[in-house]
Structures are given as C-alpha cells and as structure tokens.
Structure 1
Amino acid sequence: MSTAGVDQGKINLLSFTGKMRTLHITWFAFFISFVVWFNMAPLMGYIRETLELTNQEVKLLLILNVALTIPARIIIGMLVDKYGPRIMYSMLLAISSILCLLFAFADSFEAMAILRFMLGFVGAGFVIGIRLVAEWFPAKQVGTAEGIYGGWGNFGSAAAAMSLPVIALWFGGDDGWRWAIASTGIIALVYSFIFYFSVSNNPKGTTYFKPKQMGAMEVTSKGDFYLYCIMSLPLYLTLALLAWKMSPTNLGLFNTMETGIIYMGLATIYAYQVFQIFRINKELFAANAKPVAEIHRYKFKQVAVLDLAYLVTFGSELAVVSMLPLFFFDTFKETQGLTIAMASLLASGYAFMNLVSRASGGIISDKYGRRKTMLILLTGLAIGYFLMGMIDSSWSLVLAVAVCMGCSFFVQAGEGAVFAMVPLVKRRMTGQIAGMAGAYGNVGAVCFLTVLSFVSPQAFFMTIGAAALVTLAIVFFFLDEPKGYMYEALEDGTVEKIELH
C-alpha cells in the first residue's frame, strides 16, 4: 500500500498538527452546519406562538428542513469528488449563512417554509467532511476518525438545543428567537473563510483520486447497474411523498395541477438519472464487453446495505431531534410543569451522546469488525426505540431522559459504524457513496416525520424500532466485512493498492 504523505501515527485528540489539525477544523465546520440546520427545533415553541402556526404547519416545517438534503447530498457528493472538499465546504457554509439570515427574519409561514426547505442544503456538508477525513487517515484509523468527525459535528444539534433558547431569552422581546437564529448564520459566514484558508484536500505526497466521469457512480457488473437504478428510486419517491403531503389531499399548499407537475418533474429527473447511470456504465452492455478486472471490482450491494443502515440510524436521529423538544414539552408540561427552554435542554440529551457515541461506533468497528459491530448496534437501536415508544406523562423525567440517551448511544454509534465502512468501498467515489448513504438518512427522516404527522409520538417511535429490525436482517444476510485491498488507477496507468484493514 502506498502511504507517502499520510501520517500513520496514532490519533491524539490533543494534537493540532498534521492530520489532527485537519480533523479538528473539519469537525467544527460540520458542527456549525448542524447548528444552522437545527437552529429551528429548540425555538419552535416561540416560532409557533409568534406566527400562530397550526400543528400541521409545524410538522411540515420539520419535514421541509430535511427534504432538500436528499438531492443536495447526492449532488454535493459528486462535486466534492470532482473539485475537492476545501472549496465545497467553504461555499456551502457561506451560502447557507445567507439563507439562515433570511429565515430568521421571515414574517410568514409561506416564506419560512420556502427558506427552511432551501436550508436543508446545509445538511450536505456532512458528505464533504467524510471525503476530506478519509484522505488524511489510513484505513486502520478511518472508522475512529470519521466517528469523531461525525459525532462531534452532530453535537451541533445538541448545542443548538441547549444554547439557542438561552440566547433568545438574552436578546429578549418577541424577536429574541430571530436574533438567536441569525447569530448562527453570522458564525457560519465567518467560518467559511476560516475553513478555506486552513485546510488542503489531501496530504502532500498523496493522490486525490477523482471519478473518471461526472453524473453517476461507476459500477462493475450488470447486476450492480440494476441495483443502483433501484436504490436511486426511493430518493425521488420520498420527494414525491413530500409533495403529496402538501397536496390538496393533505395540507393544501399546492393545488392539484401544481402537485401533478411536481410528480411529472420527479419522474423525468429519475428517468434522466437512470440515463446518466447508463451513460457512465454503458461499457458493461457493449456487444464485446469484457468483465471488469477483478482488482477493480466492488460490490454495489455494500453501498445499498449501508444506505439502508443509515436510513434507520441517522434518519431516525434527524426525525427525533426535530420533534423531541416539543414531545417533552407537550408530554410533561402539565405533570412536571416543563417550560419550552427546559424541554429543549432535556431533549438535547438525545443528541448530546454524539460527543462519545458516534466515535465509539467507529472505534469498535476498527477494533472488532465492522459487520459484527453494526449488527450489535442495530439490535440495541431497535430495543431503545421500543422503550421510547412507551414514554408517557406518567413517567418520571429522569427515566424518560435516561431511555432517550441510552437509545441515542446505539443510534449514533450505528452511524459511526456505517461510515467506518463507507470510505472502504471505492476510494475515488467516496464522496458519491457518502452522498447516497447520507441522502438515505434524509429519506428516513422524511418518511419517519411523515409517519409522525399521522400517528402519536409513541407509535412513531415504535415504527422506527420495527424498521430497525428489518434493517438488522438485511445487514445479517447481505453485508460483507471489508477485507484485503482495494485498487485505484493513477493517471499514469499504474495501480495503487489501498489496505482495507
């Protein structure tokens, strides 16, 4: 394996040089993007009161917040593989800061809905950091490094839940929540410049592998081509589900004609995506096609299983983080006298576990095996959500918070386990693979939040638990443990061997 330029030393969290400097700068960029992305949830009680929103309008805002991230992560995954993480993360933070400021001072539900939908773009930042961290750390450490990146970055949602209600009170007045949200946008804008001048795409002496073509992932067999097309479909069906939610059948934000146009548009885009997949991989269908050389093959089923695992891990986290402050407030406001600020603080315990749990998933995967780790964590996740489904006003707050934090450990450690494997599938397409897995996380969030709009929170938690059991079976039967090496061709035609263990 070529290791020129790659720091093989141990991970020292107190270090701020070399690969550790890149890791710290990158996880903080992700942290800020998560603060911006989830600055609405802990302040939703104030927003609901100021704009006199209905419960359905509140739930729609929660769904819109995670919807655009589905295509954004796919697109950003392609762009980061092509142009590199440095410019892409800087641009993402700068653009999202402007959207954040506009949202902070929106004065109607319609404006808020549009801007919240657009702000889902910031959630694609996760994909950028995955590729950057994978460039700086060797395979035997990548699970741990990605876990630290994801876990400490995801903690941004907990930080938002704990701090923004206090900041809103500090500003005071009816517009305190607006200034609290605006402050996160200003921080994102400043850090976009700091990030640009502080990182490089890869260590000196290493190669930044890029896809041969843009538009879709390369696959290495006809079977994988068909599986890729099938796995792309839910990304569009989820957006169609969102359109249906806003159609005359439900909230009535769109009329019948507008809804139909959206459906046709999504069908057209999916057909174009299938065409792009074929264009990139048409050699597989040539009359004189030869099988792809063994050393360059990878199994797309690995990508598909990781997509589904991320759907129930990160997808459930997004959904729960979005609704948990209001769930605690509505459940315990009468029996425990809970305030909005206190409910947000208690709900932050769910995301607080990111500080250790996601990194733990990566560490355990690196040390004991990635498939085995994922099976154990999905089992714990399912049990945790079934327990959360039993929480009601008769519970003590201490027990309710303890169950939530226990469940969140398995959820976030499971996320770490997924992305301990993503960089080991095919290096030059790490951004695209991470983008697709990340998009499936948002597919899960939209689907779970849509379920929440029709059922009680308890049934919502039970639904996630059931989905986790199905995914557990899929992982057990179809996921392979990464072993040996993967190979990437350099521009001069030579082949580089990259260790997978």
Structure 2
Amino acid sequence: MADNLTPLQHLNIFKTRGVQMRTFHITWLTFFFCFFGWFGVAPLMPLIREQLHLSKDQIGNIIIASVSATIVARLIIGKLCDTLGPRLSYTILLAVGSIPVMCIGLANSYESFLIFRFVIGIIGASFVITQFHTSMMFAPKIVGTANAVTGGWGNLGGGVTNLVMPLIAAGFAGLGFVSQADSWRLAMVVPGVILLIMAFVYYKYTKDTPAGNFKDIERTAGVSKKGTFLIALKDYRTWVLALAYAACFGIEITVDNVAATYFTDKFGASMIMAGAMAGIFGGMNIFARALGGYVSDKVGESYGLRGKGLLLGGLLLLEGIGISLFAQSQTLGMAILAMLLFALFLKMANGSTYGIVPFINKDAIGTVSGIVGAGGNLGAMLVGFLFKSESLSYADAFHYIGIGVAVIGLLVFVTRFRNPQTTAHEVPHVKLQQV
C-alpha cells in the first residue's frame, strides 16, 4: 500500500494500474493532443496563405506569434504547479486554451488570424505541467527517462498533427460540409473539442502526487516555500538550460511550424505529402526523446550531473551540424535524410535537458521547469525572425540556426553542472504528509 503513496522506482510503459502510471499515461496523451490545438493550423498554412493573401513577412509574424504567448504562460504555469498543483493547472489551461482553437476559423483577415494564433500559444505551457507532474510520480533514478517519455510521446503530436490535420480538412471538404478553401476553418474545431474532453479526463482521473492532491495534503517542503522564483533565477545553470532548450525544443516547434511550407515551396510537394514528410520529423519523438532521457539517467549513475551536462552539450553540437546539412540539401531525399539525422540529436537533447532540470533546485522544480520551458519558446520566437526576413530564404535561415545551435552546444559543454550538496541520485521530491 505504501508504494501507492510514493514515487515509482521503475517505469513500465505497459502498466496502467496505480495513480502514478495512470497519471503518466493521461499526462503524455493530454500533451499529445495539445499539439493538435497548438500547431493544428501549421500544415494548413498553404490554404490559409492563399485565402487570406498572406505575405512571407506576415507568415513570419504568425510563426512568431504562435510561440510568443507560451513564454509568459510557461513562467506562470510553472509557478502555479508549485502552488495550485498540476491537476488543476492542466484542467484550467485545457479549458481556456480550447476556446481560441475552436474560434480561429472565424478569422477573416491577417490581423484577426494573428491574434488567434497568438492566444492559442498559451497551450504550449502544457509541457511544463507534463514534466512537473511526471517528476512528482517517479523516483530520482528514473525521473529523467519518465520525463523524456512523456515529453517525447506528447511531442509526437506535433508530427501526427502535420499528417492528420490536412486529412481532416480534406475529409470535411470531400463530404461537402465546406469548400476546400474553407476546410481549415471547420478542421480546427476538432482539436478544440478534444482539448475540452481532456480537461474533464485530467480533472477526474489524475492526482497531484501519489499521496493525494495539494488541497488534501500538508506540503512540508518545496512547494510550501516562498521566493522559489527568485531562487531559480539566481542559479546560472537555470539560464544555461533555458538556452539549451531554446536550441533543441525551440528549433523543434519552429520546424513543426515551417516544415510543410518548406517542402511545398522548395520541392513542390502537395499539402498532404508535405504534411506527411513533416510528420516524419515529429514521428521521431516516439523513441528519440525517451532515448535521450534514458541515456542521461545512465550517464548520471556513473558520472553524476556533470556527465549529464557533457552529454547534453555533445547532443546539441551534433544537432547543429545536422541542421546545417539539412539547409544545404538540394534533393528531397537528402533533405529527409538530413532531417532524420538532426531530429535524432535534437529530440535526444530535449530529453537530456529535462533529465537535468529536476536536479537544479529541490525547492523549485516547477519554477525551474517553467523557466527552462519558456527558454524553448523564446528560442523559437527569435529564430522566427529569420523566417520572416525577405532577404533570407528558408534554407539560409536553417543554416544560421545550425551555427547558433552548435555554439550553444559548446557553451553547455563547458558549463559545470555540479551541486556540492546533492548528487544526481538525490533529487528530492516534495515531501508530503497526509492530514
């Protein structure tokens, strides 16, 4: 019975019994569907661009808007996780986020579409809750792997979205509900409804911790302390990890946003075919992010937090090289091969980053997670300016991104991720006492 009230020591993905594993599966599945709401319009942009007469500069602004609100939302959600709890935080976020997703089809101009796209960005804060909640459910020796699996399987939604949303739009048009030009409008109602359903599921079937919900327990450490935000801000390692996440997840959501358009414009692919090829990139999440978290845990067992940091730096360096190769690819086959290469290292770096996050500050896991997560979206917002530039092609933008990622990888590589008071095996969970 005691095992049911404590973090799990092992991860068995085929197990569903117990609050820990039930929460594990609901969490990654919810995060998966969040991508349908967050990036559902991305593979439909060729249709939207034509109907709303969008310029390259305007599309660039839309890309930036899609990740901008997430920056602030992740900071707020990280703090809410430490105080309100992940269960209520996720429920509120899903319910509120579903509204602009369902309503974006009402946009009839660049300005209105831009506003909807900006507000939808708050859904991206779901990642912080996913990582925080998983950290509550699993023990230190396995938390990196568990975080990577939930994050990776959730991120898989970004790839599946690229494949599925064009099919949903085509289905509505084929059934005669709307014209092909307006099919994207009705298609976006689907992920909005799914988010509402997941809000109910999350509230009904998860708990904040193995011991119960925050409102039912006395928190004797971590979340009961004040000033955790400032404590996290003062630790330079938090900022290095934020930069690292900007260089991996920030690039991932950028690719989710532009890949379909890139394949359409450069290689002449159809909307469905371009979405399928972009889906390959997201599909790597089915194993690559989990692999990064697993390797990070194994390296941590032998070399501690310092070893985890060296691993992350190396993965980012390889990712940067892969992105530059992708930018220089002149044939579709070479582009796909290069994309698979850098996708592997990018997604492993995602998992490796959050294999380190829970060890930075035992009193502010949610806050650190929020700051690092916000760093990912800040990176996506900044590189978005490259894709809106009239003087740069998308290939040029990817080339500069590759160089930047490699530089950040070198910075992470020389950063000393060490804490003299705790080792990589001693990340504390919030101590809880039943009342």
Normalised to the residue count of structure 2, the TM-score between the two structures is 0.89
Q: 1:409 matched to which residue of 2? A: 344
Q: How does 1:445-464 map to 2 (within 5 A)?
A: 445-454=380-389, 455-464=392-401
Q: How does 1:282-321 map to 2 (within 5 A)?
A: 300-321=235-256
Q: Which whole-Å CA distance do the structure 2 matches of 1:364 and 1:491 have between them?
A: 30
Q: Which whole-Å CA distance do the structure 2 matches of 1:157 and 1:104 have between them?
A: 20
Q: 2:195 aligns with which of 159, 181, 188?
A: 188
Q: 1:400 matched to which residue of 2? A: 335
Q: 2:299 aligns with which of 368, 393, 405?
A: 368
Q: Does 1:213 align with 2:226?
A: yes
Task: Report the residue type matching 2:336 in the other structure.
Answer: V
Q: 1:176 aligns with which of 183, 187, 192?
A: 183
Q: 1:386 matched to which residue of 2? A: 324
The Cα of 1:12 is off from its aligned counterpart by 1.1
Q: 1:358 matched to which residue of 2? A: 289
Q: Which whole-Å CA distance do the structure 2 matches of 1:129 and 1:89 have between them?
A: 9
* Aligned 8 A contact 2:321 2:403 in 1: no
The Cα of 1:481 is off from its aligned counterpart by 4.9
The Cα of 1:213 is off from its aligned counterpart by 2.3
Deviations 1:238-271 (A, max 9, x none): xxxxxxxxxxxxxxxxxxxxxxxxxxxxxxxxxx
Deviations 1:114-143 (A, max 9, x none): 111111100001111111100000011001
Q: Which whole-Å CA distance do the structure 2 matches of 1:16 and 1:46 have between them?
A: 41
- Evaluate the alpha carbon distance shift between residue 170 and residue 474 of structure 1 in structure 2; reply closer, same or farther with a 3 A threshold: same
Q: How does 1:270-349 map to 2 (within 5 A)?
A: 300-333=235-268, 338-349=269-280
Q: Which whole-Å CA distance do the structure 2 matches of 1:101 and 1:190 have between them?
A: 13
Structure 2 portions without partners, runs of 5+: 174-178, 301-307
* Aligned 8 A contact 1:82 1:210 in 2: yes
Q: Which whole-Å CA distance do the structure 2 matches of 1:390 and 1:425 have between them?
A: 38
| SS of structure 1 residue aligned to 2:363 | helix
Deviations 1:375-426 (A, max 9, x none): 331122011111012023xx1x232212112211111110100001111122
Q: 1:471 matched to which residue of 2? A: 408
Q: Which whole-Å CA distance do the structure 2 matches of 1:489 and 1:188 have between them?
A: 29
Q: Which whole-Å CA distance do the structure 2 matches of 1:4 and 1:306 have between them?
A: 32
Q: Does 1:116 align with 2:54?
A: no
- Evaluate the alpha carbon distance shift between residue 112 and residue 214 of structure 1 in structure 2; reply closer, same or farther with a 3 A threshold: farther
Task: Report the residue type matching 1:93 in the other structure.
Answer: L
Q: 1:10 matched to which residue of 2? A: 10
* Aligned 8 A contact 2:228 2:363 in 1: no
Q: Which whole-Å CA distance do the structure 1 matches of 2:133 and 2:342 have between them?
A: 29
Q: 2:305 matched to which residue of 1? A: none
- Evaluate the alpha carbon distance shift between residue 51 and residue 215 of structure 1 in structure 2; reply closer, same or farther with a 3 A threshold: farther
Q: 2:303 matched to which residue of 1? A: none
The Cα of 1:490 is off from its aligned counterpart by 6.2
Q: Which whole-Å CA distance do the structure 2 matches of 1:215 and 1:406 have between them?
A: 38
* Aligned 8 A contact 1:104 1:181 in 2: yes
Q: Which whole-Å CA distance do the structure 2 matches of 1:126 and 1:168 have between them?
A: 26
The Cα of 1:80 is off from its aligned counterpart by 1.3
Q: 1:160 matched to which residue of 2? A: 161
Q: How does 1:176-255 map to 2 (within 5 A)?
A: 176-204=183-211, 209-213=222-226, 216-218=229-231, 228=234
Deviations 1:465-487 (A, max 9, x none): 11122212211221315652356
Q: 1:141 matched to which residue of 2? A: 142
* Aligned 8 A contact 1:381 1:407 in 2: yes
The Cα of 1:105 is off from its aligned counterpart by 2.2
* Aligned 8 A contact 1:301 1:479 in 2: no
* Aligned 8 A contact 1:93 1:188 in 2: yes
* Aligned 8 A contact 2:43 2:162 in 1: yes
Deviations 1:129-159 (A, max 9, x none): 1111000000110011000111000111111
* Aligned 8 A contact 1:81 1:428 in 2: no
* Aligned 8 A contact 1:211 1:429 in 2: no
Q: Which whole-Å CA distance do the structure 1 matches of 2:430 and 2:91 have between them?
A: 29
The Cα of 1:491 is off from its aligned counterpart by 9.1
Q: Which whole-Å CA distance do the structure 2 matches of 1:8 and 1:55 have between them?
A: 49
Task: Report the residue type matching 1:408 in the other structure.
Answer: A
Q: Which whole-Å CA distance do the structure 2 matches of 1:158 and 1:123 have between them?
A: 15
The Cα of 1:191 is off from its aligned counterpart by 1.1
| SS of structure 1 residue aligned to 2:364 | helix
| SS of structure 2 residue aligned to 1:11 | coil
* Aligned 8 A contact 2:211 2:432 in 1: no
Q: Which whole-Å CA distance do the structure 1 matches of 2:285 and 2:393 have between them?
A: 26
- Evaluate the alpha carbon distance shift between residue 315 and residue 372 of structure 1 in structure 2; reply closer, same or farther with a 3 A threshold: same
Higher relative contact order (CA 8 A, sep 6+): 2
Normalised to the residue count of structure 1, the TM-score between the two structures is 0.77
* Aligned 8 A contact 1:65 1:116 in 2: yes
Q: Does 1:58 align with 2:59?
A: yes
Task: Report the residue type matching 1:49 in the other structure.
Answer: E
Q: 1:424 aligns with which of 351, 359, 364?
A: 359
| SS of structure 1 residue aligned to 2:231 | coil
- Evaluate the alpha carbon distance shift between residue 331 and residue 434 of structure 1 in structure 2; reply closer, same or farther with a 3 A threshold: same
* Aligned 8 A contact 2:136 2:429 in 1: no
The Cα of 1:489 is off from its aligned counterpart by 8.9
- Evaluate the alpha carbon distance shift between residue 144 and residue 163 of structure 1 in structure 2; reply closer, same or farther with a 3 A threshold: same
Q: Which whole-Å CA distance do the structure 1 matches of 2:63 and 2:276 have between them?
A: 19
361-370 vs 423-432, which deviates more?
Answer: 423-432
Q: Which whole-Å CA distance do the structure 2 matches of 1:145 and 1:487 have between them?
A: 16
Calculate percent identity across the aligned residue pairs.
33
The Cα of 1:101 is off from its aligned counterpart by 1.1
Q: Which whole-Å CA distance do the structure 2 matches of 1:80 and 1:7 have between them?
A: 17
* Aligned 8 A contact 2:313 2:409 in 1: yes
The Cα of 1:371 is off from its aligned counterpart by 2.0
- Evaluate the alpha carbon distance shift between residue 304 and residue 207 of structure 1 in structure 2; reply closer, same or farther with a 3 A threshold: farther
Q: 1:22 matched to which residue of 2? A: 23
Q: Does 1:434 align with 2:372?
A: no
* Aligned 8 A contact 2:290 2:348 in 1: yes
RMSD of aligned Cα (Å)? 2.1
- Evaluate the alpha carbon distance shift between residue 311 and residue 194 of structure 1 in structure 2; reply closer, same or farther with a 3 A threshold: same
The Cα of 1:358 is off from its aligned counterpart by 0.6
- Evaluate the alpha carbon distance shift between residue 9 and residue 486 of structure 1 in structure 2; reply closer, same or farther with a 3 A threshold: closer
